[in-house]
Homo-oligomer: A and B are copies of this chain.
Amino acid sequence: MSKNEQLVVNAIRILSAEGVEKAKSGHPGMPMGAAAMAYAVWGKQMKHNPENPKWPDRDRFVLSSGHGSMLLYSLLHLFGYGLPMEEIQKFRQFGSLTPGHPEHGHTVGIETTTGPLGQGIANAVGFAMAEAHLAEKFNRDGFNVVDHYTYTILGDGCMMEGLSHEACSLAGTLKLNKLIALYDDNEISIEGSTDIAFREDVPTRFRAYGWNVIDVPNGNCYQQVNAALRLAKGSDKPSLLVCHTAIGYGSPKAGMASAHGEPLGEANIQATKEALGWPCMESFEMPNEVYEQTGIVVEKGKQQEQEWLDLFANYVEAYPELAKEWEVWHDESLPFDPMKEEDLWKFEGKAATRNSCGEVLNRLAAKLPNLFGGSADLAPSNKSYMKGLGDFSAEDRSGSNLHFGVREHAMAAICNGIALHGGLRAYCATFFVFSDYMKNAMRMSSIMDLPVTYILSHDSIGVGEDGPTHQPVEQLAGLRAIPGLIVFRPADSREMAAGWVCAMTEKHPTALVTTRQDLPLYEGSGANALKGGYVLSDCEGTPDVLLMASGSEVEQCMGAQELLKQDGIKARVVSMPSFELFDAQDEAYKNSVMPNEVRARVAVEAASSFGWGKYVGLDGATVAMETFGASGPYKLLFPHFGFTSENVAAKAKSVMKK
């Protein structure tokens, strides 16, 4: 054991405890227990150059136990990622680089935002899938330009979450051998010993998933962990290192639930320093040897990146076409102008938007070979399959279509990992109602501003016979309320194309919400939909009433406009595929679509009216779903729940009387 290496391990422990102490809040126990694991990864095995945290072929590290953020901040500081000690001292303070949970995009070197348990391990599976697919695409004999591992540390909390089951079962099926998970097995949870709620045999569970499981009897010893990491690298399966650790290792609170989520107290920190033989008495004081030791790692990392740069330079010469593709794949902007691609917008006749969605996806896939996605076992229904592009599997990494199994939550979190990795455009698909299952992962897409595309088909009572459990009602409102997520519910095939253009060009995540049933194709629909709301069918002069709808209910508004016209009433139909895009327009445009003086307004949507109030105001009305749906053919359900042109017209007249 190298004295200096052990010093770095203890530095992580001490620094983490001191950061929490200064903040007077946080989680000291996890970083102290996981310090040796983290050092074995960061100091011994991980390929990284702290001076260039964006090096594409770096190994990835994911702290799935995000509450242990001080572990990550200690590592970033000690290993020279440019996180100064002053920021460590501002842990959990407003405006600091060291927030309560690690935030990707906020602090350099953080690969993903974690905190909600289970998300990180699923992101890690996404990283490993991206690596495998890109390696298959770009590597050539002697040119392994994509060749890196994904490491993740997770604890009992992640293990209990269903998300870890979904992600790890899939990882085993796919034999993602470059995924190495370190399980911080400390037997402590917030309510006490894990024994009260969690007695499962985790190693056996992971063997059942097809993982390579390695027991590390003393997870507080970096050398034992390092030896296990070496073994893991030789496996043809994903590896789980079961590291037996003590929460709050080194402190008098070691092994206790109270070490989890509160500062240790100054006296306990002093006792810890004594127990670990720590040479510095001052807070945040580090012996020079610590930085000398991590400096060796930085040097090695710089050298590794240089070797890769040399390799890549030769690759560019040897495979200029591939190198050009590499550039395109790693550029987030579109390699063509979608407005000029006439074929993208060409449709004829009626179509369910799920079908036109699949059509546009396939048109795009022909131009964007780095599309990488699939469905949670519903590809035939939500039309999310890219024809002729193969299936990604344990045996074949070249396929672009993913089979997630019935695992919605992991699907979304994996797509976050794929998007974070870079090089690929991630999408996923399920029934709209099952967005419920992946809600938090969709939130994480938004928090990180990842351009993940969500295809959410079967979007209303239009689902029909499957009944209320399968008919979304509140999901539009729920997703529209997420900051940064663009919810796009097209009224016809051309609006559908606009939705895809939005998804491929916005930095934000986009949810494409599609019908099961056929919809008309409207004159004048198309790229206008990118404004979120627009006048699809106008009347002459100032309208008496505005009829607004998204998706399939535009049809009832168009019918109502016609009926009202017969009664001499001027109605304007506003198609509103996306609240978010509309709200982002300037006031003049918004007022041109919905003039402030026109207060007779009716919004129509086969979903909860919740959220439409901002457009219809106190004097308007909605035709919407205020209950759950019912099982039956949709052609009966629509009139039953009031979605007819006649009812919309009647509602319009009633608001005009107000």
Q: Decide if B406 touches A628 in the complex (CB within 8 Å).
A: no
Residues in B with CB closer than 8 Å to A633 are 93-94
A437 at the interface (CB under 8 A from B): yes
Tell me, yes or no, whether A447 is within 8 Å of chain B by CB.
yes
- Shortest Cβ gap from A403 to chain B (Å): 4
Q: Looking at the assembled complex, report how far the CB atom of A222 sits from the nearest CB atom of chain B, in whole angstroms.
A: 27
From the candidates B203, B436, B483, B599, name the one contacting A440 in the complex (CB within 8 A).
Answer: B436
Q: Does A465 have its Cβ within 8 Å of any Cβ on chain B?
A: yes
Residue from B391, B469, B483, B614 within 8 A of A66 (CB atoms): B469
Distance (whole angstroms) from the CB of A110 to the closest CB of chain B: 12
What is the minimal beta-carbon distance from A16 to any residue of chain B, in angstroms?
Answer: 15
From the candidates B199, B484, B618, name the one contacting A599 in the complex (CB within 8 A).
Answer: B618
Distance (whole angstroms) from the CB of A455 to the closest CB of chain B: 15
A468 pairs with B447, CB closer than 8 A: yes
User: Interface 1/0s, chain A 425-445, versus B by CB < 8 A?
Assistant: 000000001101101100110
Docked CA distance A533–B188 (Å): 43
The reply to whether B163 and A169 contact each other, CB–CB distance below 8 Å, is: no
CA distance A10 to B289 in the complex (A): 77
Tell me whether A481 and B208 are in contact (CB under 8 A).
no
Looking across the interface, which residue of chain B has its beta carbon closest to that of A95? Answer: B632
- B436, A380: Cβ atoms under 8 Å? no
A99 at the interface (CB under 8 A from B): yes
Which listed residue, B170, B406, B477, touches A117 by the CB 8 Å rule?
B406
A161 in contact (CB, < 8 A): yes
Q: Judging by beta carbons under 8 Å apart, are A101 and B596 in contact?
A: no
* Interface residues in A172-217 (C-beta closer than 8 Å to B): 172-173, 189-191, 194, 196-205, 207-210
Listed A/B pairs (10) with beta-carbon separation below 8 Å:
A92-B465, A93-B632, A94-B631, A161-B162, A162-B162, A162-B163, A173-B199, A197-B407, A481-B608, A481-B611
A residues at B contact (CB < 8 Å): 23, 25-26, 66, 92-96, 99-101, 103, 113-118, 156-158, 160-166, 169-170, 172-173, 189-191, 194, 196-205, 207-210, 375, 377-381, 391, 393, 403-407, 409-410, 433-434, 436-437, 439-440, 443-444, 446-447, 464-470, 473-474, 477-478, 480-484, 596, 599, 608-619, 625-628, 630-633, 636-637, 640
